[in-house]
Structure 1
Amino acid sequence: MSFAIYHNFVINTSCKEVFHAISQPNHLDKWWTLKSSGTPKLGAVYNLNFTDKYDWYSIVSKFDTNTSIHFKMTKADADWNATTFGFDLETRNNQTLVRFSHVNWPYQNDHFKHSSFSWALLLKGLKDYVEEGIVVPFEKRS
């Protein structure tokens, strides 16, 4: 048995703008990572750095320009290593419906619950960044 986190929300802009914010390292660093690297294409390796202790890696496991990107974790902590997280985008009434998922969690433990809460906060940060250009300093992101 595995567990999953799901969040659906709307961002008031195009799928293209949202896709850039979730796939381009210079944008990821504005709402999620401290510093990241990678190229948005199938099979590409991304470095997702949060601190020296949390210097993680993933591979792009699903990719469709301006529509979908999913990352399979390859080097992270024990709970995250088996997981894949991703974004599926859909245009609705000149807005973007974001369907976020983070699947294959091995346990529904405290880390899973904390990550679910943290994703909600971070995804609100993504929305604020794309819609309003708001960048929350890394130290204040949860």
Structure 2
Amino acid sequence: MPNIVHRIGIRAPISTVYAAVSTIEGIAGWWTRDTSGESRLGGSIQVHFRTPSREEIGKMGFELSKLDVNKEVHWHFTSGPEEWLGTDVTFSLSQEGDCTLILFGHRNWREEVEFMAHCSMKWATFLLSLKLQAEAGKGKPAPDDMKIDNWN
């Protein structure tokens, strides 16, 4: 099964980065402002993507399937685009000096499709938003995210 993978270094404490990918407030600060749910193992989280005028352009739901404090976070997608159903997003965290490293994966796609290429590029922009949030205190979550093509 094909996977999307990225690696990024963030000059922030590992606990800050962990909170950003494992809590409602954290996710809302870098991925999409419209995030709700439960920040606990097995908790369900819903995210909505909207235009600046609040028109919905996408929504997903996932379960927090693994929370290993300051080491690993896994999301398992239960709703959203058909291509995402049953996929997993993984954040593997490590610390090297003052840099927290994330090995990111969006795993278990059924097949490589054009939408996967779009998602790979969007994940890269959102990981840069995560970097901004952790280092400077303010990310660029949707609807203020970088637009990369005609799908968003």
The TM-score, its normalising length taken from structure 1, stands at: 0.91
Rounded Cα–Cα distance in structure 1 between residues aligned with 2:85 and 2:71:
25
Q: Please list the CA deviations of residues 78-98 of structure 1 after superposition, one character each: whole Å capped at 9, or x if unmatched.
A: 101121002111111132111
The aligned residue for residue 39 of structure 1 is 38
Q: Report matched runs for 1:125-136 at 5 Å.
A: 125-136=129-140
Alignment of structure 1 residues 2-13 onto 2, 5 Å: 2-13=1-12
Note if 1:67 corresponds to 2:71.
yes
Paired residue secondary structure (1:112) = helix
Structure 1 stretches lacking a partner, 5+ long: none
How large is the Cα RMSD of the aligned pairs?
A: 1.5
Task: Quote the residue 2:47 is aligned against.
Answer: 48
Question: Deviation at 1:106?
Answer: 1.2
Contact kept? 1:24, 1:38, Cα under 8 Å? no
Matched residue of 1:136: which SS?
A: coil
Which of 83, 88, 99 is the aligned partner of 2:87?
Answer: 83
Q: How far apart are residue 137 of structure 1 and its match? A: 5.7
State how many pairs are aligned: 141
Which one of the candidate residues 103, 122, 127 is aligned to 1:123? 127
- Percent identical across equivalent pairs? 28
Deviates most, 28-37 or 132-141: 132-141
Asked if structure 2 preserves the Cα contact closer than 8 Å seen for 1:25 and 1:35, the reply is: no
- Of 96-105 and 58-67, deviating more is 58-67
Distance in 2, matches of 1:53 and 1:122, equals 17
Match of 2:150 in 1: none
SS of aligned partner of 1:8: strand
| Corresponding residue of 2:26 | 27
Q: Distance in 1 between matches of 2:26 and 2:105?
A: 19
